[in-house]
A and B are shown apart, each in its own frame.
Chain A
């Protein structure tokens, strides 16, 4: 039987980049096919071609044995191809039902929207696959995990049987990933074929039937989880051996750099998201904040960086009270911030790479003299940083928006790490990065630590927190459950604390 989908010799050039170089790929019915590759390897580009958003320069696509011309998304949709994009394609001010039916609206009398009909069908799909989505909810009120399910419902609603998911797990908590995998398995057992893009090797090993690895726009090879290992996959992706664990010496903590006393912060809805948190981070140590997303970590970081007012308590940086200081005053005290949402809080997407690299220092010499920007210094510095941090971009004048997701993240890291800093506040610093880049950034974080910088690392990835931290603070419902030394802490212990079990009880269960 012909494969459900076959790509032959797909080639796509962008100015200065060969994004896809004669890529061939087959997708069998009912399989989950993982697509792996470094940041900028060309995965998203390939999928956009398949979905009709880009036209390939060369190559052919066959769907169920038939040659297919996919000129626009409508053609792909008609062929039963659906895609969940790396950056979601949902209208925030619309309801779930409106988003789902957009483009294939149910109508009465030819023109009037029939929301009830759409709602009925969404409920049906939602029940069939255990998605639990309220069709009347507004997208902007939903957490990302649920938004992603809405994206999946969009595909199923259009009766797609070839599903493309571009880094669906990058924004999910481990729990949400588990649930997504259940959904994907259910879908594949019903004969849906799935292309699944991710950077997380564990996930690939857990869910994929077959794995194809891309590097520099070319297929490096196709394999199965049984025939390979995480180390092997990492090496295939990056083209060299990769350390999946971080090597570091014991910390040599010095004076406290960040001190937080009984901090309280409201969230957007006016609820107390951080409820009286106290801790300190000393020079030369990494304090990791573990916790299921949505337990106040976001608000905590925003308060520490001056982006959100504190409702109570105090924040000291280098013994100076900065509770009400402006973000600029805080960063001028030597604080670097890698924000959680890179596109919203970390970059000006339409600005070139070079400008984004000096977003928080442009007004200082050497980038500005007496209020006038010195373009040459800015450009020369940008060239250096891009090389140093291996940002894959055609030039430093390319707008950041056309960089691949992982390379956007590297721009932020390059900006924040190349200032003299005393405190690094990093929220999910490796979100969406490939294993090679993760290794690199982890190494840089440890280097900063060893230089005597204090590091506060917030990440829902338990592995990352455990690998990097010297001490681990576990947050639950706006409070710190416990602060544990990283050497003795176990995954189980932290998992229980994250789930809200109290420290004394954890000890009791463990002991």
Chain B
């Protein structure tokens, strides 16, 4: 039973406790910045943040940011303590916003400390974060499309893997066998991946909608199928004939003017076409979902399929279409891993990104931009962890791997609050 009286509890004292907890968390953040980072740092050391990616970037060059490490950390610690004190004494109205601020301060403090006495390329970090976020965001978007009409798609992982394999194979065939020029062969690989994703989406839809198979089981079956087939074929074909696993990649395209903006330009506007496609898709799905007839019907089918049915909305058709589209987007996510990133297929290369995408969808409250935001945090954590390994930070690498996720979880739990899925999520619809 959902508990509407949680709201009552909230008013009857729990909220006060929660508000207090926030205050203590803020204070603890300030204190840890002080104790863990600022303490024991040699005075006079500086941290340099490089704000230009270098190389062929068209961004207007701006000078590096050099900060006195210890002073910066003291300021950040004081900021947290001040916010914590204020929260305890007065309380913030938009406490979640403040929590994000604290998390941001903590991350900056961490970087300042880790790169103290060295220089650290911030644009590079952000760029890498975005690239790592793209497949997760696309996977999340695929989840949004499916779950908004109440079909749980746990098969995104398998769809991505299949999309990646097909993109690698078909792209290579077009480029290396048929000798098509690069744009055409890459596009061919991409379209093939989309088709493969769509086919798996359709398969899931048939299982879930027509045969009313348990959606988790249907999705798991598709994952196993995809893993098996791609591993087998990759061992048999791609490993044997290397030229079939070499489709090439989409080259970055600098958007005129936009790419000149410092920091943002090189991070966002010097990417390959698939990244731009992702942005367009996010906006398109957002608009479609909330401002069009298709979206209204999709959401109705996800919330109350019987009501939609009594008004003449075709529940089954809606689910078929959306899940197939969702499969396509998952195929795109897979294609990105190949054609927008590494340029070759490896067994199990999705490494759980499909599932992380589902998590991003949930954290993003089943909205496209919410899922993207969550994907960015995951991508950032991932990127940070690799960059820090390079900086040779004096803490155990296991902890390094863990820390960003800890921060992520705290922020998400605090900022996002209770996530409410579409009311009919996962339930097959029975026509009477």
Show the binding face of A for B, using Cβ within 8 Å.
Answer: 48, 51, 53-54, 72-74, 77, 83, 85, 89-94, 98-99, 101-105, 107, 111-113, 154, 266-270, 302, 307-309, 311, 344-345
Contact = CB atoms under 8 A, between A and B. Distances in A.
Interface string B410-432: 00000000000001000000001
B312 A73 contact: yes
Interface stretch (B43-51, B100-108, B296-304, B374-382): B296-304
B7 A91 contact: no
A60 B419 CA distance: 48
Interface string B1-28: 1001101111110000000000000000
B427 to A, nearest CB: 10
B312 A111 contact: no
Interface stretch (B136-144, B248-256, B266-274, B287-295): B287-295
Contacts of B292: 107, 111-113
A268 B310 contact: no
B313 interface: yes
Contact of A112 (B1, B9, B291, B297): B291
A103 B11 CA distance: 39
Given A267-B8, A268-B5, A89 B306 contact: yes
A51 B310 contact: yes
Contacts of A105: 293, 296
16 contacts: A48-B432, A53-B432, A73-B310, A77-B312, A83-B310, A89-B307, A91-B307, A92-B304, A102-B297, A103-B297, A107-B293, A111-B292, A113-B295, A268-B7, A270-B10, A308-B8
Contact of B12 (A48, A77, A266, A307): A266
B304 to A, nearest CB: 5
A89 B9 CA distance: 30
Contact of A92 (B7, B8, B9, B423): B423
B347 interface: no
B311 A102 contact: yes
B310 A89 contact: yes
Contact of A102 (B4, B9, B291, B300): B300
A92 B4 CA distance: 14
B303 A93 contact: yes
Interface of B: 1, 4-5, 7-12, 291-297, 299-300, 303-304, 306-313, 423, 432
B8 A102 contact: no
B283 to A, nearest CB: 14
Contacts of A53: 309-310, 432
Nearest to B311: A103
Given A105-B293, A107-B293, A111-B294, A269 B306 contact: no
Contact of A89 (B291, B297, B304): B304
Contacts of B8: 266-268, 270, 308-309, 311
Given A113-B293, A267-B8, A311-B12, A102 B313 contact: yes
Nearest to A344: B1
Q: Which of B300, B304, B311 has the most CB of A within 10 A?
A: B311
A500 to B, nearest CB: 25
B288 to A, nearest CB: 8
Nearest to A76: B312
Nearest to A266: B8
Nearest to B309: A73
A104 B295 CA distance: 13
A102 B293 CA distance: 8
A173 B3 CA distance: 26
A345 B1 CA distance: 8
A113 B5 contact: no
A90 B309 CA distance: 11
A489 B291 CA distance: 57
Contacts of A267: 8
Nearest to A85: B310
Contacts of B295: 113
Contacts of A104: 311-312
B303 A92 contact: yes
Contacts of A73: 309-312
A53 B431 CA distance: 8
B312 A91 contact: no
A101 B312 CA distance: 12
Contacts of B9: 309
Contacts of A91: 299-300, 303-304, 307-308
A77 B307 CA distance: 14
A268 B5 CA distance: 5
Contact of A94 (B10, B300, B312): B300
Contact of B304 (A48, A54, A90, A103): A90
Contacts of A98: 296
A447 B128 CA distance: 76
B312 A270 contact: no
Nearest to A77: B312
Given A90-B304, A94-B300, A111-B293, A309 B311 contact: no
Contacts of A85: 310
B291 A103 contact: no
Contacts of A72: 312
Contacts of A74: 312
A48 B4 CA distance: 32
**Across the A-B interface, the 7 shortest Cβ-Cβ residue pairs:** A103-B311, A74-B312, A89-B307, A270-B11, A266-B8, A105-B293, A268-B4
B6 to A, nearest CB: 9
A103 B313 contact: yes
A17 to B, nearest CB: 14
A73 B307 CA distance: 11
Contacts of B299: 91, 94
Contacts of A93: 303, 423
A308 B1 CA distance: 13
A44 B313 CA distance: 21
Contacts of B296: 98, 101-102, 105, 113
A189 to B, nearest CB: 27
A302 B3 CA distance: 12
Given A91-B307, A98-B296, A266-B11, A113 B291 contact: yes
Given A89-B306, A91-B300, A91-B307, A309 B12 contact: yes
A308 B313 CA distance: 38
Nearest to A158: B311
B303 A103 contact: no
Contacts of B297: 102-103
Given A93-B423, A267-B8, 5 more contacts: A51-B310, A74-B312, A91-B307, A102-B308, A270-B11
Q: Which of A51, A83, A91, A94 has the most CB of B within 10 A?
A: A91
Contacts of B10: 270
Contacts of B310: 51, 53, 73, 83, 85, 89
Contacts of A90: 304, 307
Contacts of B300: 91, 94, 102
A93 B299 CA distance: 10
Contacts of A311: 8, 12
